[in-house]
C-alpha cells in the first residue's frame, strides 16, 4: 500500500507542533517539582498528545515526510514511548511497525518479531534526552544485519548534542531548564509548585 502525500503539506512548523503539545497538555507551563528533585517552569509528557489518535497521526506524518523517499521497509521504536510513534509513522509510510523491549536490562526484539539482513529500518522515539534507548535499538537493528536508515524523534531534548551517525529528524527541539530548589526563580516568586502526576493539572 503506497501513500501519495506531498511531504510539504504534511510537515508543520515547530511552533505548530508545540501548539499541539500545549493544547493536549503534553507540554505544561508553571512550576514543577521533578523526580530528580530539581524544579522547572515547563513539564513534558508525550503520552498526553499521543492519547489522541488524530494528533498522533499529525506528528507521525511530520516524521514520515522526512524519510518518505528512503525506501523504508520497517519502522521500529523502543517500548514504551516508541511503540505508538513507530505504529503511526509506519502507517504514514505504509510499512510495518516493530518495537523493542528490555529483557533483564537488555534491549531486544521479542514476541517473534524479526528483521531481515538488508532490511531498511527507520528508528523512532517520542522524546530523547540522551539518546541512550535509540542507540540500544540501533544495536538491535544491526545485530540482525538490517540497515538503519535514519532516526525520527518527536521531541529532541538533547540540546542538539546527540549524533547517531545517521540522518536524524525531530519535530520539536526543546530545552527545559531545571533549577536546584534553593536557586529556583519560581520559588523566589512564591509560585506554588506542582508534582506532575500527583494531582489533576
Ligand atoms: Zn521552585
pLDDT, tens digit, for every residue of 116-150?
Answer: 999 999 999 999 999 999 999 999 999 999 999 99
The Cα–Cα gap between 42 and 31 comes to 7
**Centre of ligand 1 from the C-alpha of residue 181, in Å:** 5
Task: Report the share of the chain in percent with pLDDT over 70.
Answer: 94
**Other CB atoms closer than 10 Å to residue 47's CB: what's the count?**
12
**Centre of ligand 1 from the C-alpha of residue 161, in Å:** 27
Question: What confidence score (pLDDT) does residue 160 get?
Answer: 87
The Cα–Cα gap between 98 and 109 comes to 8
**Centre of ligand 1 from the C-alpha of residue 196, in Å:** 13
Question: What confidence score (pLDDT) does residue 99 get?
Answer: 98
131 is in an annotated binding site: yes
156 is in an annotated binding site: no
pLDDT tens by residue, 10-35: 899 999 999 999 999 999 999 999 99
pLDDT at 7 over 50: no
pLDDT at 5 over 80: no
**Other CB atoms closer than 10 Å to residue 191's CB: what's the count?**
14
Q: How far apart are the first and last CA of the chain?
A: 41
pLDDT at 59 over 60: yes
Please tell me the class of the 14-188 domain: alpha beta
**Centre of ligand 1 from the C-alpha of residue 194, in Å:** 9
- Kindly state the cell numbers that stand for 138: 540501533
Q: What DSSP assignment string belongs to 123-190? A: EEEEEESS-HHHHHHHHHHHHTT-EEEEEEEEEE-STT----SS-EEEEEE----EE-GGG-HHHHTT
Q: Give domain limits for the chain.
A: 14-188
Question: What confidence score (pLDDT) does residue 1 get?
Answer: 46
pLDDT at 80 over 90: yes
**Centre of ligand 1 from the C-alpha of residue 27, in Å:** 18
Region of residue 166 (phi > 0: left; psi between -120 and 50: alpha; otherwise: beta): beta
22 is in an annotated binding site: no
Q: How confident is the model at residue 199 (pLDDT cuts 50, 70, 90)?
A: low
**Other CB atoms closer than 10 Å to residue 125's CB: what's the count?**
24
**Centre of ligand 1 from the C-alpha of residue 30, in Å:** 10
132 is in an annotated binding site: yes
Cα–chain-centroid distance for residue 109? 19
141 exposure class (CB count in 10 Å sphere: 0-12, 13-18, 19+): buried
127 is in an annotated binding site: yes
**Centre of ligand 1 from the C-alpha of residue 115, in Å:** 47
**Centre of ligand 1 from the C-alpha of residue 20, in Å:** 26
pTM for the full model?
0.91
125 is in an annotated binding site: yes
**Centre of ligand 1 from the C-alpha of residue 198, in Å:** 16
**Centre of ligand 1 from the C-alpha of residue 37, in Å:** 10
Amino acid at each position: 500500500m503506497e501513500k501519495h502525500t506531498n511531504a510539504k503539506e504534511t510537515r508543520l512548523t515547530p511552533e505548530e507542533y508545540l501548539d499541539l503539545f500545549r493544547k493536549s497538555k503534553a507540554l505544561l507551563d508553571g512550576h514543577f517539582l521533578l523526580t530528580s528533585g530539581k524544579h522547572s517552569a515547563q513539564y513534558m509528557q508525550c503520552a498526553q498528545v499521543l492519547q489522541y489518535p488524530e494528533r498522533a497521526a499529525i506528528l507521525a506524518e511530520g516524521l514520515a515526510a522526512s524519510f518518505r523517499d528512503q525506501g523504508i521497509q520497517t519502522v521500529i521504536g523502543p517500548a514504551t514511548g516508541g511503540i505508538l510513534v513507530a505504529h503511526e509513522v509506519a502507517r504514514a509510510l505504509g510499512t510495518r511497525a516493530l518495537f523493542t523491549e528490555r529483557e533483564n536490562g537488555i534491549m531486544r526484539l521479542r514476541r517473534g518479531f524479526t528483521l531481515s539482513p538488508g532490511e531498511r529500518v527507520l528508528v523512532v522515539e517520542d522524546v530523547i534526552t540522551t539518546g541512550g534507548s535509540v542507540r540500544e535499538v540501533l544495536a538491535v537493528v544491526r545485530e540482525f544485519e538490517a540497515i538503519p536508515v535514519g532516526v525520527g524523534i518527536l521531541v529532541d531534548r538533547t540540546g542538539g548534542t546527540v549524533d547517531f551517525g545517521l540522518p536524524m529528524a525531530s519535530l520539536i527541539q526543546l530545552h527545559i531548564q531545571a533549577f536546584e530548589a534553593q536557586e529556583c526563580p519560581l520559588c523566589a516568586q512564591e509560585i506554588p509548585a506542582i508534582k506532575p502526576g500527583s494531582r489533576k493539572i
